[in-house]
Amino acid sequence: MAEVADIAFIQELKQRPDLSLKQDAQGIPLIDLSCPDMDALVHDIGHACTKWGFFQIINHGVPSELSHKLAEASHKFFHLTMDEKRKVRRDVGKVLGYYDTEHTKNIRDWKEVFDYTVQQPTLAAASVDENDHQVAHWENQWPQSPPEMREVCEEYAKEMVALGMRLMELIAMSMGLKAQRFEEFFKDHTSSVRLNHYPPCPSPELALGVGHHKDPGVLTILAQDDVGGLEVRQKSDGRWVGVKPTPDAYIVNLGDVLQVWSNGEYESVDHRVIVNPEKERYSIPFFLNPSHYTMVEPLPELIRGHQKGAKYRPYNWGKFALSRKHSNFMKLQADNIQIHWFKN
């Protein structure tokens, strides 16, 4: 990893974490998915979605052994030599695989990642040009080591899709819709899994593991280890608060697509990752995303009776996702470093 003296990592003053104020969130909902009382479960999910946009789930049915196997494979992969990791490196032609140069809002993240998609191949927009209707086929790249990587990753992805779709049923019901309402958007879903590795950082007060952002997709199911570092901007007062790791729980957060589908009722929430001077941290988000050709717009039945009508204009998911990938890919010259970032 580069030194933090590398200016690309340094956050603008107002984005830097105040490590002296670090505080854990109080009251992030913890939802037990094995709860037999369906009405209560749906009610709790709805409450968590409106009040927080973030919640943790337990008794979710994903075997903990599988999560541990994936965590282990991830540790082994990230501890390979840079030469080995770069054999499965992502580049302009190959959008999936390993890279350590992601930028969030044009500042480099203090992390390295391995991305793979669930569907093989994943059908995606070929370009961001609105008139280009060509379809691209995204293929995963698998490292030779560790040998179990592919199998474990694929098995985990299947579990995540099942869990994600189950959450979507509960979310649909919490909006007064039928459980299957969202199914049609996922026929050729573009969901993906990301293995994140945040190495120890010598200057955690200047850099971030991931700069503040909202997830663009439908929802995210995150597994994190016991180090901690994920922070959420609390809806109630706008403060940054830590999400304390809970063993065997997943963190669920709503993405921008759900915010649009719900016509703003269920907002996606700003979050970021702070880094640690001594400890490395691993996390594994699963991003549930619709088919690339989905036109994302507020559901008609949720606009009806709404005085203000639709709060968003339709947009094409595939084009949106691809332009995000492009903008993440390299630091855009136009937004190059400004000295006012360093004013006190």
Q: Which residues make up the interface to Ni ion (CB under 5 A)?
A: 215
Q: What is the CA radius of gyration of the chain?
A: 20
CA–CA separation, 10 and 203 (whole Å):
9
Structure tokens at 251: 């963190």
DSSP designation for 341 = G
Closest to ligand OGA by CB, 42 or 223: 223
Q: How far is the CB of 109 from ligand OGA (least distance, A)?
A: 9
Residue nearest to ligand OGA (CB): 283
Query: Which are the contacts of 327, defined by CB distance < 8 A and separation ≥ 6?
Result: 103
CA–CA separation, 132 and 319 (whole Å):
10
Closest to ligand OGA by CB, 174 or 289: 289
Residue nearest to Ni ion (CB): 215
Q: CA torsion 160→218→189→65, rounded to 10°?
A: -10
DSSP designation for 226 = S
Closest to ligand OGA by CB, 156 or 293: 156
Q: Which residue has the tokens 């006190």?
A: 344
Q: Which partner from the list Ni ion, ligand OGA, none does 196 bind, CB cut-off 5 to 8 Å by kind? A: ligand OGA
Binding site for ligand OGA (CB under 6 A): 194, 196, 210, 215, 222, 224, 230, 271, 273, 283, 285
Q: Which partner from the list ligand OGA, Ni ion, none does 273 bind, CB cut-off 5 to 8 Å by kind? A: ligand OGA
Closest to Ni ion by CB, 174 or 224: 224
Q: Which partner from the list Ni ion, ligand OGA, none does 224 bind, CB cut-off 5 to 8 Å by kind? A: ligand OGA
Closest to ligand OGA by CB, 175 or 243: 243
**What is the separation of C-alpha 59 from the centre of its chain, rounded to a whole number of angstroms?**
21
Q: How far is the CB of 198 from ligand OGA (least distance, A)?
A: 7
Q: How far is the CB of 39 from Ni ion (least distance, A)?
A: 31
**What is the separation of C-alpha 36 from the centre of its chain, rounded to a whole number of angstroms?**
29
